Structure 1
């Protein structure tokens, strides 16, 4: 018998496998029932580049060489996440998701919003009005909500009762422009040159400054103050470990993680925070 039911909202493709599968694994291990939802109620698929790491290196467009990975090994999901993803594929809740139109606030005790960046799949998730309305209602309730990476952008786009962002007046973190720019530069200059904007879900229009359409900038514009977007403060313990992008947290080591809680809302930046993020969400659900 499950104590509570948690919903993980997904696009139909290209979500980040680490943020979803590790969160699912931690929630299930804690005894929670996990349901999923996609735009049309069809089973979702994670970002294949983040799973295999193939196609991120400069030779990744060549069929005979794409299996040889350098950048792909650095950027793809870690082994524990790939293993959790493989197990999640056999989960009935994952294989039989609800549609966004079926979602009802009273059916769930918690909501988790993961991220991803490949525009071909993520935009349908980030821009869906029915999902945004559901997220806004959930944030207005006392029920726990957790958002990571581009999931924070979905939360910021979701309307509150007053028409402003449901995150207005809250503190949050999310994918920082420094992290987004670093991954973008790494792949467009040293890797996936034929698809240089793979790491940018939204690009700036002519006349807009660099980073204007980044997650951090858009979320910051939705908040009561851009200062309510919280990055790791300089001087914080393990500052370089948290901000270099070279370290990810694990079940045993939370030092690289940066997670922000504000009331019933929990946020994190990227897959490198996911173990602390998921465990923090479990603790919120137990309160």
Structure 2
């Protein structure tokens, strides 16, 4: 049986290459890929990620080749992204503590949540969280996605997160212990030097946030603790860290190698890489 991969995309825009890299690696390995979004709306690529002439402000150069722009556009416009799974339909939301019948609602929530995440984890061998600015809006603090991440970790199945998608791993915490899943782990992600000073944008809203609302590097440094570590690898062309069950990728050029390393994790038992 081919391995099954669940790829989660933001409805507010994903970075084209950060989807192409893993998907092409999975296709080459013969895996089957299923897509999901927070509410089941079709995901779309951020326009700058399809433009080879776009100059990335922090790096001062284009980060998208003409060939990658073509491949990203072809995938973005294909039918593969149509009709994604809806996390909102599949995984229940924890009730407010102010609910009138909180105890009964919480019991019902736990029963439905456990059944839902068990079904998803049983059906998939790995989870991927694609990056771009969109995940800042609807993935980073998405409690349904947090429950899925917790379930994959509990089942000892790998998770690949890219760019701002890595924030999900820092925020996905058991509601009782509040302990970081990344404590003692080594990760990479968008470093402070790569953050925009202005122009952080999202699909579907006429809003220029300016800089990102949080510096991901600082969050990851705190989340990994004194025995783990954040590796920005600034000045190096690529940065991908494997500290099982997590595969983390810094930014755009790390997408293809992160997909290849996820295949190594799944097929050959790779447990550590990059530090």
TM-score bracket, shorter-length normalisation: 0.7 to 0.9
Secondary structure in 2 aligned to 1:273? Answer: helix
Match of 1:78 in 2: 65
Secondary structure in 1 aligned to 2:61? Answer: helix
How many residue pairs align between the two structures?
233
**Segment of structure 1 superposing worse, 223-232 or 135-144:** 223-232
Match of 2:74 in 1: 87
Match of 1:222 in 2: 223
Aligned with residue 155 of structure 1, among 163, 169, 188: 169
CA distance in structure 2 between the partners assigned to 1:24 and 1:52 by the alignment? 20
Match of 2:24 in 1: 25
Alignment of 1:4-19 (within 5 A): 4-19=3-18
Instruction: In structure 1, list runs of 5 or more residues that go unmatched.
Output: 58-68, 189-194, 203-212, 233-238, 243-255
After TM superposition, give the deviation of residue 16 of structure 1 in Å.
Answer: 1.0
After TM superposition, give the deviation of residue 94 of structure 1 in Å.
Answer: 1.7
Secondary structure in 1 aligned to 2:167? Answer: helix
For the Cα contact (< 8 Å) 1:112–1:145, is it kept in 2? yes
Alignment of 1:109-120 (within 5 A): 109-117=125-133
For the Cα contact (< 8 Å) 2:249–2:255, is it kept in 1? yes
For the Cα contact (< 8 Å) 2:17–2:68, is it kept in 1? yes
Q: Which consecutive segments of 4 or more residues in structure 1 shift more than 4 A?
A: 69-73, 90-93, 195-198
Match of 2:104 in 1: none
Alignment of 1:2-151 (within 5 A): 3-52=2-51, 74-75=61-62, 77-89=64-76, 91-101=78-88, 102=90, 104-117=120-133, 122-151=136-165
For the Cα contact (< 8 Å) 2:2–2:30, is it kept in 1? yes
* TM-score w.r.t. length of structure 2: 0.74
Alignment of 1:249-260 (within 5 A): 256-260=237-241
Instruction: In structure 2, list runs of 5 or more residues that go unmatched.
Output: 91-116, 201-206, 269-275
CA distance in structure 1 between the partners assigned to 2:241 and 2:132 by the alignment? 19
Q: CA RMSD of the aligned region, Å?
A: 3.1
* TM-score w.r.t. length of structure 1: 0.71
> Aligned pair in 2 of structure 1 residues 218, 71: CA closer, same or farther (>3 Å)?
closer
